[in-house]
Amino acid sequence: MVDLKGQYEKIKERVDSSIMNVIETTAFVNGPEVHQFQKELEEYLDVKHVIPCANGTDALQIAMMGLGLKPGDEVITADFTFAATVEVIALLQLTPVLVDVDPINFNIDVEAIKKAITPNTKAIVPVHLFGLAANMDEIMAIAKEHNLYVIEDNAQGIGADYTSKDGTKRKTGTIGHVSSTSFFPSKNLGCYGDGGAIFTNDDDLAHIIRGIVNHGMYVRYHHDVVGVNSRLDSIQAAVLRVKLPHLDNYNTARKKAAQKYSDAFKEHKNIITPTGCGKCSETSFANCNCHVFHQYTLKVVDADRDALVNHLNEKGIPCGVYYPIPLHLQKAYKDERYKEEDFVVTNQLIKEVISLPMHTELDDEQIDYITETVIKFVAK
């Protein structure tokens, strides 16, 4: 699904010397590399504060702690996403409110958010799923009307642009009150272990969060709030500093591969290819940066998706089903509040989606082999 080795070979010299430099200076924790990376990411994103931490799940949890959410507060998020989002809501004893997603772009359904709001709702967590920016104009408008926080889960969307109705363009993760991201190796900006970060433009919130990641300390050995220990280590920051200048090129390579896939599948009615934000052309991603293709996810209709998965595996083609079970049906998150008729889209998507190999090193020959194999099996 990913080719981390091929990508590493191209930047090997810089990566190796940066890692050696950390080892030689022994500044393993909170070293200058972490601070430099933080500054460089702030500049890239055009956001006031980046607070590095240990992983993307911690980033979400710390963002929610920073906002002062209290047990019983309701947090609305998508039913069709990775479990980390709902997991931290539950861990903090907040009440997760899962809602359905849009059948075309897979992101949280704005109408479903509106329906789910109660007097206890405190926050909305949109996920820029598979790398496509969620509908932030609408989500921010709902949040403003109901006085809610917006926490963007940007683990899959780093580098994507969101263009507002008024034409302003901003990076995903810089629009809500606070955001989280992950530097897990397979993410669009991945390190060589675990890593994550929180972003915000709010000075006071950034200050609170900087204490939370460090045991609730604002002055050494004075613990003002209950915090956690969540750090990005210097070796990971050194790797990320080498990779950040390549991020736009990496995302362009993903977009090109996505375009080639989509062009090949164009004529086939039962293979539904991913769409962009709607402000871009439906069939060309070239001039829009709304989608950074963390995953390239198809819907196959009137065909046996599971048989296709087996077939691709037999042909030596990796593929994935993200996600095979809706969160509201997961054992850990089941709740009698949920009604099946409120999850029509997710319940359908889990039967139809399939994600093809997507990374920065895909070549034309590989894509041709993959698309031909898929088409031969399912196309009508």
Q: Residues 33, 153, 352, 361: which binds ligand PLP (CB under 6 A)?
A: 153
CB of 56 to ligand PLP, least distance (A): 3
Q: Which is nearer to ligand PLP, 230 or 371 (CB)?
A: 230
Q: Which is nearer to ligand PLP, 184 or 218 (CB)?
A: 184
Q: Residues 85, 172, 262, 275: which binds ligand PLP (CB under 6 A)?
A: 85
Q: Which is nearer to ligand PLP, 126 or 211 (CB)?
A: 126
CB of 194 to ligand PLP, least distance (A): 6
Token pair belonging to 290: 């709304």
Report which residue type is found at 200: T
Stretch 38-57: interaction string toward ligand PLP, x if CB under 6 A? -----------------xxx
Give the residue from 159, 223, 227 showing the smallest Cα distance to 190.
159
Q: Is 107 a binder of ligand PLP (CB under 6 A)? A: no
What sections of the chain are H helices per DSSP?
Answer: 4-25, 32-45, 56-66, 84-91, 110-116, 136-146, 203-212, 234-243, 247-265, 305-314, 344-352, 364-378
Distances (CA, A) of 168 to 42, 273, 316: 18, 27, 44
Q: Is 371 a binder of ligand PLP (CB under 6 A)? A: no
What residues contact 73, with CB distance under 8 A and at least 6 apart?
94, 95, 120, 121, 122, 123
Residue 101 dihedral angles phi and psi, to the nearest 5°: -120, 175
Q: Which is nearer to ligand PLP, 69 or 271 (CB)?
A: 69
Q: Is 156 a binder of ligand PLP (CB under 6 A)? A: yes
CB of 57 to ligand PLP, least distance (A): 3
Contact status, residue 105 vs residue 293, Cβ threshold 8 Å: no
Q: Residues 126, 176, 190, 196: which binds ligand PLP (CB under 6 A)?
A: 196
Residues that bind ligand PLP (CB under 6 A): 55-57, 81-82, 84-85, 127, 153, 155-156, 182, 184, 194, 196
